[in-house]
Chains A and B, each alone.
Chain A
Amino acid sequence: MTPFFQRRLLGLGLVALAALACWGLDVSLDLHLRPAAAVSGTSLLVLVLFLTLFNARKKLPFLPLLPAAVWMQIHLYAGCFSLILFAVHVGFRLPGGRLETALAVLFVAVTVSGILGLAISRWLPARIRVHGENLMFERIPALRAALRKEVEELVLGSLPATDSSTIADFYEQKLRGYFEEPRHLGNHVLGYGKPLHGILSEIKSLDRYLNAEERKIMAEIEERVRLKDNLDFQFATQGMLKLWLFVHIPLTYALLILAVLHALVAWRVV
């Protein structure tokens, strides 16, 4: 058993024990006619607030509060536990009121987005590492502009050099849009290579109409097509790694606001 697996097993085991204890406490309180929902609800609110602190921790790196990696692990396991605590709190049934329904929908949305984010953050980086040159996300627009400029120089240079507009025409029809902006982002995320294959096929089909000089230039352009493909891949995958937080974090704050309102109303009648 690898250390990684051991750690995961230990973590999940602790979560399972905590969930069992939580469920047992809820059942006990309910059996003894105590306000079980108030206890589980208060615990859940505190837990969600704690989960939110992870975002604050990342913004305060200078504080000696355990490494962010450790916080991440705690965040993940606490998030799993919060899902179980939520199910216990609602009594394993659909909520009744509108506020409670909205709260449940938000909670599920935050949880699902978190789980998807976790999956993305485990799946995509491995693909990024092996796809091609790893590029910094913030520099990709500049690199795209530079690449486009290189290709255009090659295309423009081919006119006098080959006394033919074949390459220029092909660039204008097939490649100009490709180099201007990010393309095929969805395919890159899902790992489909068909678009690149399509472009390369078209380049290959043009080959019979080129002379030796044109072929040399076309080979340069083809290399840059591959570079652009990697650029788009990097942009899509790294963007996805950042964009999922655009769902997870705003929904979390909406969840917190509704949760506080729900807590105030519920405490009023406990």
Chain B
Amino acid sequence: MKNWQEINDRAADYARPNQRWVCGRACLGAPCMEGPDAHGVCRATSECHPLRKGDRWHCTRPAAAGGPCATGPLPDGACCRPVPRCVPSRSLRSWRGLTTTAVATVTTGLLALLLASDRGRDFVSPGELSFAHSSSKSQCADCHPGIAGPPVAWLGTLTNTAAQSDSRLCLNCHHMGEAPFHAHGQSPAELAGLTQRAASRATDGTRPVALALGSLMAKPAGQAAAELACAACHKEHRGKEHDLKQLGNLQCQSCHARQFTSLANGHPAFEHYPFKQRTRIIFDHLSHLKEHFHEAQFKSVAPASCADCHEPDERGHTMQVKAFARVCAACHADQIHGRGRAGAPGIAFLRVPGLDAATLAERGLAVGDWPEFAEGRPTPFMEWLLAGEPGVPPALTKLAKVDLLDLADADADTLKAASQLAWAVKGLFFDLLNGGQPGLKQRFESQVKSPPSRETVADLTGALSADVIDSAIGNWFPRLATEIAEFRSAGKLKSARATKPPPPGKAKAGANRVKPEDWVESGGWYRSDLDYAVLYRPKGHADNFLTGWLSLTANAAALRSPQPAARVFQELAAPKAPGLCAKCHSVDDHPVPRMNWQPARFSPARQEFTKFSHASHLSLLGDQGCLSCHGLNLNAPAGSYLAAFAQDNRDSARFQSNFKPIERNVCASCHTPRFAGDSCLLCHNYHVTRLRPATTVTMKAKMQPDKLTPTAR
């Protein structure tokens, strides 16, 4: 077969594929020599450009076009063979360029139209929002500041890198504590402490290879004082079903000083888990289980199982102690009431101290009527109530070691102090009689740094009745009104010698009248003429008077007269004090000195580092029940539990638990990847804070008067 494509510079035209235009007659096999210009305009004129040599014109048609023609140029030098103009066609390369330009233009145009429209936002959105964040009203600007309106309006903010500022918008709805962008919501100083503690703990595992290799290429995002954006962990725009809280175990550990492979392999051993401090309610499980529940008088009412005293909270997470009335009252209610008590069942609130009134009268410091057989000292309550009166605290200090019943050898200052005390006591009784509970309230307010609430005053006064004070004064200071009026106007009594008071008035009673302390067996105020005291008998468990005074004086340092307040507290918290409050209720110093009235309560909104749901695990208990996990610490020294609650120990971190700490392998036996799972997030929280919904901006906006009418949706 012949080769019919001749390729040489003389025989064939030179085709340039990179040219944009091709002669329109090329497809006919007769392209002109010129070819179109760059703009696609035909430049054809004739088949040759005649050349003049001497006086003759010569044809210069190339060999590829047939060589010089037979006719030759015209006499005027024009070619005799004109070529009609053609319609140039584009080369393939030109068409390709056009196609590319068209596609790019159409793409840009469509994008511009889309971005400028209302649908632009949907187009640019990288995916559906999760259920929690999606609503028909959600806008990009809800989470991405500066992005409002159609996407074309965002161009002005494109240079802002916004992970941190986006995170601040998250706080409009999610309140994450005081340090929301630091790891675990802890301040850098707290984190440093936690890191130091973690680094010092031993581990039996090895560092995961992925983390070891990864640390060569990247540094963790949330270490030290670095701020961590919310989006670092919470990936949105991954569809409605996406779990925003999903995070891998290795990701959790990337910032940690101690890294390990799994719960069973390398997880730090549990230290004293779950016991970080002593119990708030003093209850020695060992002594109760071993001894008290088996005593004959209590056997019938003793609990048979843990569930008799403990129940899950409403969420099923923690086990709460049931109320006193349901679990403790059967054995302890009588003790609190004071039934069968050897000493006085009531608390002496007011007491007329014993005083050598005769000596005072001889020395010109008569104090008027004074019970002859009074022997006691002023109660701590009285000392506290009198602490605000000028001269009384120094007088009390001076008389602290003085025998007030024998002042014969006392010096003048002592006698003066004794006189001052006596008149202060009388003044107190007089003011109580006339001022009543409002008068008491005034004395309270003078001793505390902030005004007490109405309920606190009610607790502290214990519904003190006028009659008990009236009868006390009537029996002990029958001429009190006259004497006080005389003393307060003249500064002393007119008569310097004590006169015998008239006999006290007394209502006639039957032969079998019960004693005053038994008369108020259900609680209340009574007078004792044996020691000249006004006493209060507790109503029972959670008596308001006792709880009020103990709560007030537990933090004596916060009151104006800390020493008398501390003595009030010591009196009420004594091991044998009426009510026996301190027998079961511990006192802690942290965060502030306080009496623990309730067992530990965990706010549902508060997230700690670890979380555990008892309800999820109760069905897994074996024959041992709660002891499956909470083993009794039978090897603890006898009495060591109660020793931690000695009065001089208010540090709740110093304790000896009745139970052994839970060990890691107890949990790891079920929490494997194959069974219950060992994700960090099963047992740990990242955000360690009190979660509460923040008041959103929109809520605040609708509180304005001009926006009270709701707009239609």
Q: Which residue numbers of A lie inside 8 Å of B, CB to CB?
A: 24-25, 27-35, 95-100, 132-133, 135-139, 141-147, 149, 223, 226-227, 242, 245-246, 249-251, 253-254, 257-258, 261, 264-270
Contacts and interface: CB of A to CB of B under 8 A. Distances in A.
Contact of B220 (A33, A253, A264, A267): A33
A250 B103 contact: yes
A24 B220 contact: no
Contacts of A145: 27-29
B28 A139 contact: no
Contact of A250 (B4, B17, B100): B100
B373 interface: no
B233 interface: yes
A96 B26 contact: no
Contacts, number: 167
B144 A97 contact: no
A31 to B, nearest CB: 5
Interface in B626-683: none
A149 B30 CA distance: 12
B147 A268 contact: yes
A97 B127 contact: yes
B1 A138 contact: no
A98 B103 contact: no
Interface string B161-187: 111001000000000000000000000
Interface string B300-330: 0000000000000000000000000000000
B103 A258 contact: no
Give me the 4 closest cross-chain CB pairs, A-B, nearest first. Answer: A96-B127, A28-B214, A141-B27, A250-B103
Contacts of A24: 213-214, 217
Interface of B: 1, 3-5, 7, 12, 15, 17, 22, 26-31, 91-92, 95-96, 99-100, 102-104, 107-108, 111, 122-128, 144, 147, 151, 154, 157-158, 160-163, 166, 210-211, 213-222, 228, 231-233, 237-239, 248, 250-251, 254-255
A96 B237 contact: yes
A33 B124 contact: no
The residue in B4, B154, B211 that gathers the most chain A C-beta atoms within 10 A of its C-beta is B4
Contacts of B29: 141-143, 145-146, 149
Given A145-B27, A250-B100, A33 B217 contact: no
Contact of A33 (B12, B104, B228): B228
27 contacts: A28-B213, A29-B217, A31-B210, A32-B215, A33-B221, A33-B251, A33-B255, A96-B127, A96-B237, A97-B126, A97-B237, A99-B126, A100-B126, A138-B15, A138-B17, A142-B28, A142-B30, A143-B4, A242-B96, A246-B95, A250-B99, A253-B103, A257-B107, A265-B124, A268-B144, A268-B161, A270-B161
A132 B1 contact: yes
Contact of A138 (B22, B104, B251): B22
Given A268-B154, A269-B163, A133 B3 contact: yes
B95 to A, nearest CB: 8
B111 A98 contact: no
B254 A32 contact: yes
B217 A25 contact: yes
Nearest to B5: A135
B144 A143 contact: no
A227 B12 CA distance: 19
Given A145-B27, A253-B104, A267-B161, A31 B211 contact: yes
B103 A251 contact: yes
A142 B161 contact: no
Contacts of A261: 111, 124
B433 to A, nearest CB: 72
Contacts of B151: 265
Contacts of A246: 95-96, 99
B218 A253 contact: no
B111 A143 contact: no
A43 B222 CA distance: 24
A270 B166 CA distance: 9
Nearest to B122: A98
A142 B27 contact: yes
Nearest to A238: B92
A28 B127 contact: no
B125 A133 contact: no
A49 to B, nearest CB: 15
A261 to B, nearest CB: 6
A122 to B, nearest CB: 21
The residue in B103, B251, B254, B255 that gathers the most chain A C-beta atoms within 10 A of its C-beta is B103
A133 B4 CA distance: 9
Given A97-B126, A142-B26, A142-B27, 14 more contacts: A29-B217, A32-B220, A33-B232, A33-B255, A96-B239, A99-B126, A139-B12, A226-B1, A249-B96, A250-B104, A267-B161, A268-B158, A269-B163, A270-B162
